[in-house]
Structure 1
Amino acid sequence: MSKQPGSSTAAEPDQPATEPAVDSPSDETVEAAPAGSRLAHAPGALVLAVLSLGWLAAMLWSTRAAITSAAAGVTAISLSAYALPGVITAALVAGAAVALAVTNRLGRATLRFLAAVGAGLLVGLAAAVAVNLTYADNATTNTIAGTTAAAAIIGGAMAGARNARVVGGLAAATLAAQVFVVLFSRARDPLSDLFGAGDTQESMLDAAKWVSRTESLLAGLIAGLVAYLYLAWARRRAEGRDAVAPQVRWPGYLVAGAGAGLLLLLTEVIIRIGGRGLLDLAAALSDADQVAQTALGTSRVDNGIWVLFVGALTALVLFGRTLGPRAVEDEDESDS
């Protein structure tokens, strides 16, 4: 059959000409994909790094003052074991915050991760040198220096994640929670009396348990609130620069809110691996010290779990309150 210009078969050769229009959306998607790398920018990273380094220095100084005081005597080992968790958590936050500040403008994932680990390594080495120069030269000092350096390196590696805003929220939340815990220590004795601490050992243990749970609950609430506020602030800054900039979704808020608890549990892992010798020395001083170290370890794990879940739930609830109702299609469109 001959193909006439007016026939339907004559139009068939013209159909491939419409194919480029179908491919254009995918081209736009490919070009827009690199915009997701802007999630690697964490606002306020430099300020967070300075605050975290200051907090680490304060924790190292307070630990040194405690174990070298004249009143410490033979209890220096116990005081070192008691102060070690706070130092390690501060080193984790400092390593992550400094690494964020260093890598904030780097785009390539591999380069970003290597630079983050290097920044954490520098923080860890600086802290270890400071400990060795200012503390007494003994096995306790070496344990504190080694675990602090390891924690800073691990914190720096965390900052190499692609979504640096979540890491920034996690670091800010953990720092705020740790500051609160130190301030809360002044209220322990009044709260113990409020919860019925008396002359018996049972009443004192029950009161201490309720004080610890109150501290964990409030620390989790503060961690979740700070994580949400940081991510919300980062979202507003990103929208001010680019209205179509990618934003952190709800899993990011969940991780940032739970981050303080996650770092507390990670601190416990580092202590039980790198600081095992110090814990054993503290537990070997007496039967009472052995019971105390066991109770402290259990309490730290419970505290980390409480802070993790309360912080995650708080951040997620606050994020959920910002979500508007879903757009409902018209009935005519749904029927069609």
Structure 2
Amino acid sequence: MSNQPGSPTAESIDRSPQEPAGRTGYAPGTPVLAVLALGWLAAMLWSTREAIHSAAVGLTAITLSAFALPGVISAALVAGAAVALAASELAARRLGDRAALRFAAAIGAGMLVGLGTALAINLTYADNATTNTIAGTSAAAAVIGGALAGARTPGPVGAVVTAALGTLLFVVLFSQARDPLFDLFGAGDSQASLVGAAKWVSRTESLLGGLVAGLLAFGYLTWARRRAVRHAPDATAPRWPAYLLAGAGPGLFLLLTEVIIRIGGRTLLDLAGALSEADAVAQTSMGTSRIDNGIWVLFVGALTTVVLFGRTLGPAPRDDDPQDPAES
């Protein structure tokens, strides 16, 4: 059948109306990611509120707020990115995959998440300077996450969000195994044994967290590639840089969280560190540990995805392979 003007072509029949032409990638499951990330953010806000309210008014509440700040900021960053990715994907399907439209939808969604987070903190936490610091820094983190999700490569962004969310959940689950691991690594009554055991526990957490991040990022990109081929059989498969970025993404998120904390939460950290010499040492030690953890997760996650991607590649064709007689 000839393709006359106005007649439907095979390409237009196969393309779903929900997937307009010109799309640069696919990020499946973004609504589910958004719901999970918002649920994680709500859980972090609730647990932080309970910890602060259960503490004695004054010095202890300030210390607990400083310790809880990284968890809230990382959750807000991931939630902002997840909701923004879902919004940008919806805009791309409905209105066309234009870079400006995608970025505007992502920024708007990130701002909504940031505003909602700040309102939830101000309405449910005690009204003081500490609360305002947590609210403002969390709102900024959500907006930054939304801006990152506005990239024109939704597949790798979805992989980063999935892996980052899984890594944050793994850290909470791993906390249940810290005490047995301390005993396993020889923690005793001496200070040296406790420091040595803490170092090995931290390294184990970082290595396993990076492995989880790499596995989740690779799995999501594999799923996204299969969905893309289903909608467009001639779609170009992601190359190794996309896998490298997806695997390194959760570590980059952790390091970005630390930057946001050092800038937006500086007042709270300084206030907590000024309470006593022990508090100052604890804040410095925790900050160094978070940076080390982010670096380890970055490199282990990136290495895991690249290795897994390499195992999917077949052998390259050789020039001296015999030709089929029928082809000559």
Instruction: With the length of structure 1 as denominator, give the TM-score of the two structures.
Output: 0.86
Runs of 4+ with deviation above 4 angstroms:
70-73
Following superposition of structure 1 onto structure 2, how do residues 130-169 of structure 1 map, counting pairs within 5 Å? 130-169=120-159
Preserved contact between residue 93 and residue 171 of structure 1 (Cα < 8 Å): yes
Query: Do the aligned partners of 2:210 and 2:300 also contact (CA within 8 Å) in 1?
Result: yes
Q: Which has the higher mean CA deviation after the structures are superposed, 100-109 or 218-227?
A: 100-109
The residue number in structure 2 matching 1:109 is: 99
The structure that has the greater radius of gyration is: 1
The reply to whether residue 57 of structure 1 matches residue 33 of structure 2 is no
Q: 1:38 aligns with which of 17, 20, 24?
A: 24
8 Å contact kept, 1:116–1:160: yes
RMSD: 1.5
Does 2:233 correspond to 1:243? yes
Secondary structure (helix, strand or coil) at the match of 2:47 reads helix
Which moves more between the two structures, 128-137 or 320-329? 320-329
Give the structure with the higher percent helix.
1
C-alpha distance 103-121 of structure 1, shift in aligned 2 (>3 A)? same
* One of 267, 279, 288 as aligned partner of 2:269: 279
**Residue 85, structure 1, aligned to residue 75, structure 2:** no
Aligned to 1:181: 171
Question: What CA distance in whole angstroms lies between the structure 1 residues aligned with 2:305 and 2:178?
Answer: 27
C-alpha displacement of 1:223: 0.2
- Partner Cα distance (1:210, 1:77) in 2: 29
Aligned residue type for 2:62: I
- Alpha-carbon separation, structure 2, partners of 1:273 and 1:35: 42
1:225 is aligned to: 215
Q: Report the residue type matching 2:36 in the other structure.
A: L
Partner of 2:119: 129
Separation in structure 1 between the aligned mates of residue 230 and residue 201 of structure 2, nearest angstrom:
43
Amino acid at match of 1:239: V
Structure 2: gaps of 5 or more residues:
1-19, 324-328
Distance 2:103 2:231 in 1: 26
Count of aligned residue pairs for this structure pair: 299
Q: Which residue of 2 aligns with 1:269?
A: 259
Asked whether the equivalents of residues 55 and 61 of structure 2 are also in contact (C-alpha less than 8 Å), the reply is no
Partner amino acid, structure 1, of 2:251: G
Residues 1:119 and 2:109 aligned together = yes
Q: Following the alignment from structure 1 to structure 2, what is the Cα–Cα distance between the partners of residues 168 and 238?
A: 14
Whether the aligned pair in 2 keeps the contact of 1:254 and 1:315 (CA below 8 Å) is yes
Offset, 1:199: 0.9
CA distance in 2, matches of 1:55, 1:218: 20
Give 2:46's aligned amino acid. W
**Aligned pair 1:205/2:190, yes or no?**
no
Deviates more, 1:68-77 or 1:255-264: 68-77
Tell me if structure 1 keeps the 8 A contact 2:59–2:275. no
Structure-2-length-normalised TM-score: 0.88
| Gap change, CA 1:250 and 1:36, over 3 Å in 2 | farther
Check the 8 A contact 1:37/1:162 in 2, yes or no: no
Tell me how far apart the structure 1 counterparts of residues 58 and 205 of structure 2 sit (CA, whole Å): 30
Superposition deviation, residue 246 in structure 1: 2.2
Where 2:54 maps in the other structure, the secondary structure is coil
Q: Distance in 2 between matches of 1:138 and 1:193?
A: 41
CA shift for structure 1 position 243 = 1.4
* Kept in 2: contact 1:36–1:246 (CA 8 A): no
CA distance in 2, matches of 1:328, 1:36: 35
